[in-house]
Amino acid sequence: MTDNTVQNLNTDLPDLKAYWMPFTGNRYFKENPRIISRAEGMYCYTHDGKELLDVVAGLWCCNAGHCHPKIIEAIQEQAETLDYAMAFQLGHPKAFELANRLTEMAPSGIDYAFFVNSGSEAVDTALKMALAYHRLCGEASRTRFIGREKGYHGVGFGGISVGGMSPNRKMFGAMLPGVDHLPHTHNLEHNAFTNGLPEWGEHLADELENIIALHDASTIAAVIVEPVAGSAGVLLPPKGYLKKLREICDRHGILLIFDEVINAFGRTGDSFASNRFEVTPDLITTAKGLTSGTVPMGAVLAKSEIYDAFMAGPSEMIEFFHGYTYSGHPLAAAAGCATLDVYLDEGLFDRARSMEDKFGDALHSLKGEPNVIDVRNIGLIGAVELAPIEGQPTTRAIDVFRTCYDNGVIIRTTGDTLAFSPPLIIKDNQIDKFIETVREALQNN
Ligand code: PXG
C-alpha cells in the first residue's frame, strides 16, 4: 500500500448512542464522529475511507506500527491454542517466557515481572508492592507516597492520588491519604526550545529533601515519577535530575518507582528510559508498547530485593495478596512476546535513537511559527507548546488538532501543547509530511 492511497474501506457509521466514551467530549463527538475502522503501519483509516498518518502511535502505544503481521499472527495462533488459563495457582508458557524476556531487557538488577492489564493497574500494583515491601522489612510506618506536580499515573485511586493533574483529581474526593508532591520541572524561562534534556533544573530534585524533612523518612514508602512526563505535555527531566532523585531515595531507604508506561519500549530512544538515562529505579511500571497496543497488558518490573522480601514464610502460602483475573492473559502474553521479537528483529529501539536528531530538528523548525512558545523532545517523543488564547485555554491546540486531522494527520493535544509520539517505524518523508501539516495548521489557526 502506498502512503497516499485512499482505501475504499467504507463501513456504516455505527449507532453511537450507548457508548460512554473515556476522556472524550461525548456530545461533541457524537455530533462530529471520527471513527477509525482499520489501521496498518503508520496509517489509520476512517469508516468513510479517509487515510490518516498517525503520529501518536494510537495513544503512545503502537510502537511497532499498526497491525504488525508478526504480532497479529502470534495473537491468532494463541487464540486457537489456549484462550485462557487460570491466572492464580496455574500458569501457561507464554507468561513465563514474556517475564524472562522483559527482565532481560530491563536494567540489571530488575529481575521479576508482575503482569497486569493497563498502566493504571501497573501503578496501583507498584504502590501496593512498595507498601507491602516495607512492612515485610519491618518498616510498617513507611506508608506515604511522593508524586510530582503534572504527573500522570493513570486513573485508579492510587494513580490519581500520586498524580498531579488537577482535572483528573478534583471530582473524586480525598483519595489516598499521606501523599505529597514534588514540584514539576517545566520551566520556559530557562529551558524553552531545548533540543534534548534541559541544562537547567537539576536542583529541583533537592525539594525531595525538604519533603522528607517535613514528614520524616521513616514515614515514606516510595517516590513515583515518569522519567519523561507524557500526558502533561512532554516534560523532560533536567540533566542530572533523575540521578539526584535516586541518590536521595537511597540515602533515606525510600523506593524509587519509574512510571515508564509511555517511556518504555523505544520511546526515549532505548528499551527503557531507565537505560537511556542510566538510572535504575526499584520498580518500573509499563503497559502500552509492551504489546504495541494490540492486546491490553501492563507489567510491574521489580528488583530482586523486593521480590526476595516477599519470599518468606511457608512456600505454599500466597506471598502477595494481589493480582487480576487477566494477569498474564495468554493473548496478551503472546502479543508481548511477538512484540519484543519485532522490536529486536527490526532494531526499532536503535531506529528510534537514530531518528532522534531528524525528528528533533524537524520539530524545532516550527520555532517562529505563530504562537509557538516552546519545542521540546527526546527520542521519538516531542511537543510544541502554544500560547493559549486568552480566557480559552486548550482551544488553540484543539483547533490545530482538528485542522491536522482534516489534512490527514493525527496528533495529540494536552492543554495548549501538541504532543507527538510516532510509531518507531516512521520514515523521513512521513516526518516531513506531519511537520508541514502542523506548520500549515499553525499558520491558519
Ligand atoms: N502512567 C502513565 C505514565 C501513563 O502515561 C498510565 C499510567 C495509565 O495507563 P492506562 O493504560 O491505564 O491508560 C498512563 C496512560 C495522553 C494519554 O494522550 C496518556 C495516557 C493514556 C491516555 C491518554 O496523554 N497514559
* Averaged pLDDT, 201-209: 98
Q: What are phi and psi of 102, to 5 degrees?
A: -65, -45
Q: What is the CATH number of the domain that holds 45?
A: 3.90.1150.10
Alpha-carbon span 42 to 55, nearest angstrom: 8
pLDDT in tens, 361-407: 999 999 999 999 999 999 999 999 999 999 999 999 999 999 999 99
Number of the ligand 1 atom closest to the C-alpha atom of 122: 7
Angle, helix 207-215 to helix 241-252, in steps of 10 degrees: 20
* Averaged pLDDT, 313-321: 96
| 409 falls within a domain | yes
Percent of the chain with pLDDT over 90: 96
Do residues 314 and 352 share a domain?
Answer: no
Do residues 271 and 341 share a domain?
Answer: yes
Do residues 329 and 272 share a domain?
Answer: yes
| 234 falls within a domain | yes
H/E segment holding residue 60: helix 57-60
Do residues 328 and 270 share a domain?
Answer: yes
pLDDT at residue 10, rounded to an integer = 65
* Averaged pLDDT, 44-49: 93
| 377 falls within a domain | yes
Angle, helix 93-105 to helix 330-345, in steps of 10 degrees: 40
Our count of domains for the chain comes to: 2
| 4 falls within a domain | no
| 261 falls within a domain | yes
DSSP string, 16-54: -SS---TTS-HHHHHHS---EEEEEBTEEEETT--EEEE
Domain termination site, one of 319, 345, 371: 345
The single residue listed with the C-alpha cell 482551544 is 395
| 55 falls within a domain | yes
Alpha-carbon span 106 to 129, nearest angstrom: 18
CB 113 within 8 A of CB 300: yes
C-alpha 133, offset from chain centre: 25
Do residues 191 and 148 share a domain?
Answer: yes
CB atoms within 10 A of CB 406: 11
Number of the ligand 1 atom closest to the C-alpha atom of 260: 3
Do residues 341 and 351 share a domain?
Answer: no
Give SS3 for 325.
Answer: coil
* Residues linked to residue 44 through DSSP beta bridges, in sequence order: 39, 52
Report which protein residue has its CA nearest ligand 1's atom 16.
Answer: 231
Report which protein residue has its CA nearest ligand 1's atom 23.
Answer: 59
pLDDT at residue 271, rounded to an integer = 98
Do residues 155 and 253 share a domain?
Answer: yes
C-alpha 419, offset from chain centre: 13
Domain termination site, one of 345, 375, 394: 345
- pLDDT, the chain, mean: 96
How far away, in angstroms, is 313 Cα from ligand 1 center?
36
How far away, in angstroms, is 192 Cα from ligand 1 center?
25
Do residues 184 and 327 share a domain?
Answer: yes
C-alpha 85, offset from chain centre: 28
Do residues 261 and 358 share a domain?
Answer: no
Number of the ligand 1 atom closest to the C-alpha atom of 56: 18
Residues with Cβ within 8 Å of 61's Cβ and at least 6 positions away in sequence, in order, are 287, 288, 289, 292, 293
Number of the ligand 1 atom closest to the C-alpha atom of 229: 3
Q: What is the CATH number of the domain that holds 248?
A: 3.40.640.10
Do residues 235 and 382 share a domain?
Answer: no
pLDDT at residue 12, rounded to an integer = 81
Q: Is the pTM of this model over 0.75?
A: yes
Q: Cα separations (Å) of 163 from 22, 156, 385?
A: 18, 10, 21
Binding-site residues, ligand 1, Cβ < 6 A: 59-60, 118-120, 123, 152-154, 226, 230-231, 259, 261-262, 287, 412, 414
pLDDT in tens, 184-199: 999 999 999 999 999 9
Which domain covers residue 289, as residue numbers? 72-345
H/E segment holding residue 237: none
Domain termination site, one of 312, 345, 378: 345
pLDDT at residue 389, rounded to an integer = 96
Number of the ligand 1 atom closest to the C-alpha atom of 156: 12
How far away, in angstroms, is 326 Cα from ligand 1 center?
19
Do residues 334 and 352 share a domain?
Answer: no
Give SS3 for 72.
Answer: helix
pLDDT at residue 11, rounded to an integer = 72
DSSP3 helix / strand / coil % (the chain, rounded to 5): 40, 20, 45
Number of the ligand 1 atom closest to the C-alpha atom of 288: 11
CA angle 102, 351, 275 (to 5 degrees): 45
Residues with Cβ within 8 Å of 411's Cβ and at least 6 positions away in sequence, in order, are 55, 56, 400, 401, 404, 418, 419, 420, 434, 438
Percent of the chain with pLDDT over 70: 98
Q: What are phi and psi of 158, to 5 degrees?
A: -65, -50
Number of the ligand 1 atom closest to the C-alpha atom of 414: 24
| 11 falls within a domain | no
Q: With CA atoms as reference, report the closest residue to 328 among 111, 86, 74, 156.
A: 86
Report which protein residue has its CA nearest ligand 1's atom 14.
Answer: 154
pLDDT in tens, 68-99: 999 999 999 999 999 999 999 999 999 999 99
Give SS3 for 270.
Answer: coil
Classify burial at 378, counting beta carbons within 10 Å of its beta carbon; exposed 0-12, middle 13-18, buried 19 or more: buried
How far away, in angstroms, is 345 Cα from ligand 1 center?
27
CB atoms within 10 A of CB 288: 29
* Averaged pLDDT, 148-165: 98
How far away, in angstroms, is 261 Cα from ligand 1 center?
7
Do residues 291 and 375 share a domain?
Answer: no
Q: In a mutational test of the pocket of ligand 1, which residue from 59, 258, 297, 421 has the highest number of ligand atoms less than 8 Å from its CB?
A: 59
* Averaged pLDDT, 280-303: 98
Grade residue 9 by pLDDT with cuts at 50, 70 and 90.
low
Grade residue 5 by pLDDT with cuts at 50, 70 and 90.
very low
| 3 falls within a domain | no
Alpha-carbon span 11 to 46, nearest angstrom: 9
Report which protein residue has its CA nearest ligand 1's atom 22.
Answer: 59
